Chain A
């Protein structure tokens, strides 16, 4: 959107004229992608590098504030009338105009499977601002190890692209564990980059059909100077735990782990008692978000992102005092629907669940 038009539409006059709706509600008449504040985007390329993945290049609207290497984004789309969202790591370097994500097919994951099978040019995607701080600074260290497994390659790829695009002269070992060659995304690009940059060494290990696993011997052989390298790590939880133990025993250099914002958010504190009306269960509101309290009490309310974006976890609150974990604002509510994942008890809360 033209910045001047955007400024006008964002003015208090425009807001007063749209009252009580928002200017966005009227912009939607013209185009779904238009919004004054919400980042949204359209797919411009969908490339299927492997049979069960798709790499999407997304052109965001002007509300996209950019990202840092290794951050992720919540991608939402409408399936059977309802909006669903899921987090994906961003593989593109921050200064590229398109956001690139790679989506792998995932058992029951409706969003992933839909994107792998159906995503095509023009698809509208709802986006969140980039989240996570895998790579808080963009200058590269002198020596680095990029270690990934499976689809954990995407955030690590973003780190690599960032460094290379900045012309960094880092000595990089890119060690990736994939199940089989057909499963490996970015294989061609990695090969090309390694050919071009003398200081980049790319090693791929295939784990399928009795292949090798990450262990002490392999690591010592592949990265003998590990002690001198700062590490960026991403992959399934088990892989990351193994890698972290192995690395900690060999190096005291910093290690960066990719984790989603939700699991990283300092655990919520609350007070008061939480009463689940329909299931007739009472719990303490002291530890965790209302969603976690419900889960600890053996209930299973629906959830999606666990970070306040998808609204899947919304429940009806009969009455109570709650704290919004994003703003720390405490408020009293009655007869309202609230997202359980981003609210903690700040007094007694009665939830219709």
Chain B
């Protein structure tokens, strides 16, 4: 395995302090420039939604349909990734703008914000990549770590992964129900209350995308419906891809409970870092990914305004180099390949032979 074994406690403390310094530098510098950025994204998203829906009303012409659907998909991707996800992390709370308030923001997704903040912000970001605690590890559907016991159902997981990609927002919506806890420490009553919130959210989206807008289009009911379906579908595939590339690539590390108890700040940072993987690409690509292409930086500092990840990434990477820690990054194609390999490999029983690298000797050799 490539969890570093060459770092002393003092190294980890210094490493943690260096990261704290990066965080402080950015957080004390937030202001006008950041506000301008997110407001611009917000405007772009709303404008592309309005334009997309308007074009779809001219949807009999194939180019208009295509342009309308693309703009709507763009708007949904921006809204879920760069706006919704990051707003709900509290990244923009400092602006005191009610439209960007983590407490009240509701994203365009079938998952209610309140439940997302629990399953994602709390469970996933606290217990990142700890098998049995982080429910995002395979979303209780897939086996993504050799530390998860194999069951015959996992033979079907390549197919299940594809289905999950297509219906990703629905998977996300059901995620916080935590079916597996039912009858143990979760009551049917709690479950019903949560299901009620999900239904309200689902009703809102179905009504808007699949009934009201198509109906308003009159004779163009079918193309508008198809456009909305395609936009939601595109957003699903895209977010699935970005999120899976952020945590289930080849080199990403998984942890067991014992490894992650009583962590120091430095160890916590280290787990977040080794449990995440980045994607390289252009600025528009990063924006469309909600800067989750900087998954490492996001996991280190989940409440830092996203566009700053781009700025601090070189500092984080240099720090990793200095301490001999693997900084997992690569192109979308490379990382997606790694994800596919992992999903396929884990569908079969047996344990992977772990590489042993990044020991003190490796580090000395590399240096």
Contacts and interface: CB of A to CB of B under 8 A. Distances in A.
* Max chain B C-beta neighbours (<10 A), residue from A19, A78, A312, A334: A19
A67 interface: no
A5 interface: no
Contact of A335 (B36, B46, B121): B121
Most buried by A among B36, B50, B103, B108: B103
Given A16-B207, A26-B46, A81-B94, 7 more contacts: A17-B213, A20-B201, A29-B50, A82-B35, A311-B101, A314-B101, A316-B90
A-B pairs with lowest CB-CB distance, top 8: A81-B35, A337-B103, A83-B96, A20-B106, A80-B31, A19-B204, A81-B32, A81-B31
Contacts of A84: 96
Given A311-B96, A312-B96, A335 B117 contact: yes
Contacts of B108: 20-21
A20 B99 CA distance: 12
A13 interface: yes
A247 to B, nearest CB: 40
A341 interface: no
B26 to A, nearest CB: 14
Interface residues of B, number: 37
A162 B103 CA distance: 41
A29 B46 contact: yes
Contacts of B122: 335
Interface string B82-99: 000000001001111111
Interface string A149-169: 000000000000000000000
B351 interface: no
Contacts of A337: 90, 93, 101-103
B33 interface: yes
Interface of A: 13, 16-17, 19-21, 24-26, 28-29, 76, 78, 80-84, 310-312, 314, 316, 334-338
A321 to B, nearest CB: 15
Nearest to B95: A82
B95 A81 contact: yes
Interface string B176-214: 000000000000000000000000010011011000110
B93 to A, nearest CB: 7
Contacts of B99: 24-25, 28
Interface in B6-46: 30-36, 43, 46
Contacts of A80: 31-32, 35
Contacts of B101: 311, 314, 337
Contacts of B46: 21, 25-26, 28-29
11 contacts: A17-B208, A19-B205, A20-B106, A28-B99, A29-B50, A82-B96, A83-B96, A83-B97, A335-B117, A336-B103, A337-B101
Contact of B95 (A21, A24, A83): A83
B47 interface: yes
B107 interface: yes
A16 B212 contact: yes
A336 B96 contact: no
A337 to B, nearest CB: 4
Contacts of A19: 204-205, 207-208
Nearest to B97: A83
B118 interface: yes
Given A29-B43, A335-B121, A16 B204 contact: yes
B306 to A, nearest CB: 15
A338 B104 CA distance: 10
A152 to B, nearest CB: 28
A21 to B, nearest CB: 7
Nearest to B121: A335
A310 B98 CA distance: 9
B295 to A, nearest CB: 21
Contacts of B32: 80-81
Contacts of A83: 95-97
Nearest to B53: A17
B67 interface: no
A29 B49 CA distance: 11
Contacts of A16: 204, 207-208, 212
B193 to A, nearest CB: 10
Given A17-B208, A26-B46, A29-B47, A82 B121 contact: no
A296 to B, nearest CB: 24
Contacts of A335: 114, 117-118, 121-122
Contacts of A82: 31, 35, 94-96
Interface centre among B47, B95, B118, B207 (most CB of A within 10 A): B95
A331 B249 CA distance: 41
A80 B95 CA distance: 9
A25 to B, nearest CB: 6
A148 to B, nearest CB: 32
Nearest to B118: A335
B178 to A, nearest CB: 13
A178 B150 CA distance: 82
Contact of A336 (B30, B50, B117, B201): B117
A20 B204 contact: yes
A20 B121 contact: no
Q: Which of A76, A82, A314 has the most CB of B within 10 A?
A: A82
Contacts of B201: 20
A126 to B, nearest CB: 9
A23 to B, nearest CB: 12
A25 B107 CA distance: 13
B204 A314 contact: no
Contacts of A29: 43, 46-47, 50
B205 to A, nearest CB: 7
A39 B340 CA distance: 53
Contact of B93 (A26, A28, A314): A314
Contacts of B96: 76, 82-84, 310-312
